[in-house]
């Protein structure tokens, strides 16, 4: 049975007081709370995109200003995850989860009643803050609750499925709520979910006192990494507006690189670092985060560009698009909840991860050749079935990424894992959508029809996404190793 390995240390690490064994029923309730928190976060990311035209019409957003409904959330969320993960280790993960969920729920109410662009953007930024606080510690709580390898594998499978399903459900739900009620309800729906999560989380989540601020209250490091990530994500999400070679992109990107370099120098020298660099000496932690960044950047093209292809080329509506993509959520759920934990236990996380990536390479490879006049049953549905690879890959990758972190660093490892996910998403947004749009403009200028030009642009994005997945496979094969198995009696 796989055993969780301890991280390598160059010096003694602060230790948390071991938590008492939590009863099975309480642990299941805690898992439900954590999965619901993940569902809210992912739903909020996908549900908003469908309602964007209605929001623009109602509040009078400019086309450029409208992008900040998404960007304000993404910048706050992505830049605060690492800091939030370490704060969970220092102040207590349960406390940070409760605070983050409360902030997110309150910000959802503010977004729902917003009457101006400025108020909605501010509310979206606060939603990102709340999501970062809650999401950054979720995996840290999960791995300290479920210590037995088989139980942990099943718990991670449930957690991973929730995120994958939330993305697909959000697109359908956003269209239904906007058409049937109004765009305000895409935010109001978070209120009962958030309040119920808080009510169950208080008794269900285990108490943890944390290490205390003295164990890692690195104020200078916190400022450097938060500012660096914020500027870096900002420069990436604005690439489509300014271009890769613009002074705006290069200037903010260079400043972000300098700040992040300063952060790593600070962590190597500080007595109480925000992110002890020992965590990156773990082969599983460093490798899994790199693989995840490449995977997420590639799979953005599946979630977003497939939806655009269905709507702009095949003429599907918003709700029909969501329904067309539901088979992907169904197979991901069936695999991640039904078989991934057993496969990880029998064959090892590395083997299951590599198999999942191969299936995903097949999915994007098929999309790279999808025709202009496609038939759903023969051209799109097989791709949805191959998305089962995500149900194999993500739970295995999550287990590998968390296996190298001890209890004292579980929140930090969780925050780091979520941070690389957001960075991968931001880079995927910028690179793949920009290249697809550029190819479309070129072909349109040379007389191609709109459908032909769009399809060719998507082909380019899917081809590059396939290359990213192949790179992820190579790194996973070379770098990652499944945790050692321990004999069972």
Structural domain 278-484, CATH architecture: Up-down Bundle (1.20)
**What do you get for the CA distance between the two ends of the chain, in Å?**
11
Hey, how many other C-beta atoms are within 10 angstroms of the C-beta on 219? 10
Task: Locate the domains of the chain by residue range.
Answer: 24-207, 217-273, 278-484
Winning range, highest mean pLDDT, from 20-24, 138-142, 275-279, 327-331: 327-331
* CATH code for residues 24-207: 1.20.1250.20
Q: Give yes or no for residue 97 having a pLDDT over 80.
A: yes
Highest mean predicted confidence (pLDDT) among 150-159, 165-174, 205-214, 360-369: 360-369
Q: How confident is the model at residue 357 (pLDDT cuts 50, 70, 90)?
A: very high
What does the mean pLDDT of the chain come to?
78
Distances (CA, A) of 431 to 19, 232, 296, 461: 44, 14, 12, 8
Q: Are 481 and 350 in contact (CB under 8 A)?
A: yes
Same fold, 24-207 and 278-484: yes
Per residue in 280-305, pLDDT (tens digit) is: 777 778 888 899 889 988 887 677 78
243: region left, alpha or beta (phi > 0 left; psi from -120 to 50 alpha): left
pLDDT per residue over 137-156, tens digit each? 777 787 777 777 677 777 77
Mean pLDDT of 267-272: 78
Average pLDDT score over residue span 444-448: 86
Rounded average pLDDT over 11-20: 42
121: tokens are 């953007």
Task: Write the CB contacts of 479 (distance below 8 Å, at least 6 apart in sequence).
Answer: 283, 286, 287, 290, 291
Q: Which tokens in the block code for residue 307?
A: 């939806």
Distance set, CA 276 to CA 78, 217, 412 (Å) = 20, 12, 9
Tell me the average pLDDT across 72-87.
77
């Amino acid at each position: 049975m796989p055993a969780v390995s301890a991280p390598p240390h160059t010096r003694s690490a602060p230790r948390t007081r071991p938590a008492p064994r939590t009863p099975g029923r309480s642990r299941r309730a805690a898992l439900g709370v954590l999965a619901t928190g993940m569902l809210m976060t992912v739903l909020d990311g996908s549900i908003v995109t469908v309602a964007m035209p209605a929001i623009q019409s109602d509040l009078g957003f400019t086309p450029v200003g409208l992008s900040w409904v998404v960007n304000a959330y993404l910048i706050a969320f992505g830049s605060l995850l690492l800091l939030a993960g370490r704060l969970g280790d220092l102040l207590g993960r349960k406390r940070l989860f409760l605070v983050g969920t409360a902030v997110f729920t309150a910000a959802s109410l503010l977004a729902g009643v917003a009457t101006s662009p400025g108020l909605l953007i501010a509310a979206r930024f606060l939603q990102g803050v709340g999501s970062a606080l809650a999401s950054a510690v979720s995996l840290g709580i999960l791995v300290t609750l479920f210590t037995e390898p088989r139980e942990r594998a099943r718990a991670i499978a449930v957690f991973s499925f929730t995120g994958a399903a939330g993305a697909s459900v959000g697109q359908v739900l956003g269209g239904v709520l906007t058409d049937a009620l109004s765009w305000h309800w895409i935010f109001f729906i978070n209120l009962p979910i958030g309040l119920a999560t808080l009510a169950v989380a208080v008794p269900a989540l285990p108490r943890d006192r944390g290490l205390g601020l003295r164990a890692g209250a690195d104020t200078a490091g916190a400022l450097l990494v938060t500012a660096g990530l914020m500027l870096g994500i900002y420069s990436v999400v604005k690439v489509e507006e300014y271009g890769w070679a613009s002074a705006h992109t290069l200037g903010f990107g260079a400043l972000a690189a300098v700040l992040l370099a300063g952060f790593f120098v600070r962590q190597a020298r500080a007595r109480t670092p925000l992110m002890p660099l020992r965590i990156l000496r773990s082969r599983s932690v460093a490798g899994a985060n790199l693989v995840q960044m490449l995977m997420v950047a590639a799979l953005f093209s599946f979630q977003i560009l497939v939806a655009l292809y269905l709507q702009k080329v095949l003429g599907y509506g918003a709700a029909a698009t969501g329904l067309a993509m539901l088979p992907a959520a169904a197979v991901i759920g069936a695999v991640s909840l039904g078989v991934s934990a057993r496969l990880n236990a029998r064959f090892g996380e590395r083997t299951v991860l590599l198999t999942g990536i191969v299936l995903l390479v097949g999915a994007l490879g098929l999309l790279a050749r999808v025709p202009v006049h496609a038939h759903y049953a023969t051209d799109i549905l097989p791709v949805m079935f191959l998305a089962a690879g995500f149900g194999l890959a993500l739970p295995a990758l999550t287990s590998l990424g968390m296996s190298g972190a001890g209890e004292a660093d579980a929140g930090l490892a969780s925050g780091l894992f979520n941070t690389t996910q957001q960075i991968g998403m931001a880079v995927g947004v910028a690179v793949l959508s920009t290249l697809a749009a550029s190819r479309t403009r070129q072909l349109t200028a040379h007389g191609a029809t709109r459908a032909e030009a769009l399809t060719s642009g998507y082909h380019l994005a899917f081809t590059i996404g396939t290359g990213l997945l192949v790179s992820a496979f190579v790194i996973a094969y070379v770098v990652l190793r499944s945790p050692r198995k321990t004999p069972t009696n």
